[in-house]
Amino acid sequence: MMRRARPIGHVRAWGAATLLAAAWSLAFAQAGAGGGSAVIFSDDFSQTAVGAFPDHWTLKGPGAGGNPLSVVQRDGARFLLSQTPVVEGDEQTASTLYARLPKQSDMPAVFTIEFDAVFGYSRLADDLQTEKQYGVLAGSADSSFTLLAVTSQRAFSRNAQANLNLAAGKVHHVAVTVDGRSVHAHVDTAEVIVDPDGADRPITRIGLELSSHKGAQQDDLMFTNFRIVEGKRP
Q: Whole-angstrom distance between the N-terminal and C-terminal Cα of the chain?
A: 55
CA distances (Å), 60 to each of 41, 57, 64, 78, 227, in order? Answer: 17, 9, 6, 23, 19
CA 48 to chain CA mean position, Å: 17
How many whole angstroms separate alpha carbon 138 and alpha carbon 98?
9
Query: What does the pLDDT read at residue 34?
Result: 39
Q: Which residues of the chain have pLDDT under 70?
A: 1-36, 124-129, 234
pLDDT in tens, 23-72: 445 444 444 433 457 999 999 999 999 999 999 999 999 999 999 999 99
Query: What does the pLDDT read at residue 55?
Result: 97
Q: Specify the pairing of strand 57-58 against strand 182-187.
A: unpaired
pLDDT in tens, 196-212: 999 999 999 999 999 99
Query: What does the pLDDT read at residue 71?
Result: 98
* Torsion over CA: 62, 44, 120, 23 (sign): positive
Query: What does the pLDDT read at residue 129?
Result: 67
**What secondary structure letter does DSSP report for 13?**
-
Name the 3-class secondary structure at 145: strand
Residue 90 near residue 217 (C-beta atoms within 8 A): yes
Q: Specify the pairing of strand 95-99 against strand 65-66.
A: antiparallel
**What secondary structure letter does DSSP report for 73?**
E
Query: What does the pLDDT read at residue 32?
Result: 42
CA distances (Å), 172 to each of 37, 65, 136, in order? Answer: 22, 24, 15
**What secondary structure letter does DSSP report for 215?**
G
Query: What does the pLDDT read at residue 115?
Result: 98
Query: What does the pLDDT read at residue 228?
Result: 98
Rg (CA), the chain: 17
How many whole angstroms separate alpha carbon 82 and alpha carbon 71?
9
CA 72 to chain CA mean position, Å: 15
For domain 16-230, say whether CATH 2.60.120.560 is its number. yes
DSSP letter string over 112-143?
A: EEEEEEE-SB-TT-S-TT-BEEEEEEEEETTE
Partner residues linked to 146 by β-bridges:
137
Query: What does the pLDDT read at residue 123?
Result: 75
